[in-house]
Amino acid sequence: MNKKLYRSMVQLTGVYFLSLFIFKPALGIGDNSKWQLVKDDAGIQVFILETENSDIVKAKSSIVVNASLSSVQSLLDNIETRHEWIPYLVKSQLIKYESDNETLEYSVFSAPWPVSDRDFVYRLRLISSSKNKKIYTMTSEVSDLMPISSSAIRAVLFESVYTLTLLDEQKTKIELTFHADLKGWIPVWVANIVQKALPYKTLKNLQHELKKQDNKSVRF
C-alpha cells in the first residue's frame, strides 16, 4: 500500500474514533441567529450557536448544583486540581500572576492516538464579582513565557466564560460558554463535536466533584 495513502487512512481512523470517544451525536444545528438546544440530560442543557467569523460553533451549557457559590468558586480557582474534573486535561499551570482577579495560565489536553495533544495559553480574568454573581473569562494569548512546544499543537481559545449565579445559600447556577479552534488537521465536523461535548462533560464532572467534597465535609 502507498505510504501516503496509509498515513491518510490512519489519520482519518483516528479522527473517527476521537469523535466516538468524545461525544454521542446531538440534534441538528440551528440558524445563525439563535441558540439551539442540542442536549438536555441529567439536569444539564447544552446549546450551540453558529457564528459569522468561524465555521466552528460556539457552545454553552448550564446546570444548577446543590452547593454554595463560594464552594464552586473555590473549585474553579484551584489550578492544582482542575485536571480532576475538566475532561482530558493533563495539567494546568500558572505562568504569571497579575492580581487576585487576573492570571496568565497554561493547560495541556490529551487526545487519543494518533491525534496530537493540544495546549492553550490563556488569560483568565474575574470580570464581575458581587455577592450573588461571579463571571470568569478566558481567552488565548501569545506569550514568550510559554513558547510553542513540539509535543502539542497550540490551540486557540476564542472564548470561555464561567458565570456563577447564587440562587440560595446552597444552590448555584453555573453556565459555561466555550468556543475554541483545536487547529491542526482535525476537520471542522470533529471540532464541532468537541465543542458540544466539553461544556456538558465539564459541568457533569464539576457537579460530581462538588458532591465528593460535600461528602468529605460530613462528620459523624
DSSP 82: G
Pairing of β 156-168 and β 133-140: antiparallel
Q: Which of 14-18, 101-105, 131-135, 171-175 has the lowest mean pLDDT?
A: 14-18
Identify the residue with better confidence: 198 or 153: 153
Q: Which three cell numbers stand for residue 184?
A: 491542526
Given pLDDT bands bounded at 50, 70 and 90, which one contains residue 204? very high
Please report, to the nearest 10 degrees, the dihedral formed by the alpha carbons of residues 173, 163, 67, 211 taken in order: 100
Per-residue pLDDT reduced to its tens digit, 71-99: 999 999 999 999 999 999 999 999 999 99
Domain of 162 in residue numbering reads as: 3-217
Contacts with 121 (C-beta within 8 Å, 6 or more apart), sequence order:
95, 104, 105, 106, 140, 141, 142, 143, 146, 154
Describe the crossing of helices 69-77 and 188-217 by its angle, rounded to 10 degrees.
120
Q: Which three cell numbers stand for residue 86?
A: 475538566
Identify the residue with better confidence: 214 or 9: 214
Average pLDDT for 156-180: 96
The whole-chain average pLDDT of the chain stands at: 85
Identify the residue with better confidence: 125 or 198: 125
Per-residue pLDDT reduced to its tens digit, 32-57: 458 999 999 999 999 999 988 889 99
CATH number for 46: 3.30.530.20
| Strands (DSSP E) found in 66-155 | 89-99, 102-109, 118-129, 133-140, 153-154
What local confidence, expressed as pLDDT, does residue 24 receive?
36
Q: Which three cell numbers stand for residue 210?
A: 462538588
Burial track 73-90 (b if 16+ CB lie within 10 A, e otherwise) = bebbeebeebbebbbbbe
What local confidence, expressed as pLDDT, does residue 20 receive?
35
Confidence check: pLDDT of 124 > 50: yes
- Cβ atoms of 35 and 48 within 8 Å: the answer is yes
What local confidence, expressed as pLDDT, does residue 10 receive?
40
Q: Which amino acid is located at 63 in the chain?
A: I
- Determine the Cα–Cα distance for residues 26 and 38; give it in Å rounded to an integer: 5
What local confidence, expressed as pLDDT, does residue 101 receive?
96
- Cβ atoms of 196 and 38 within 8 Å: the answer is yes
What local confidence, expressed as pLDDT, does residue 29 receive?
35
- Determine the Cα–Cα distance for residues 163 and 150; give it in Å rounded to an integer: 34
Average pLDDT for 179-188: 91
Provide the number of structural domains found in the chain: 1
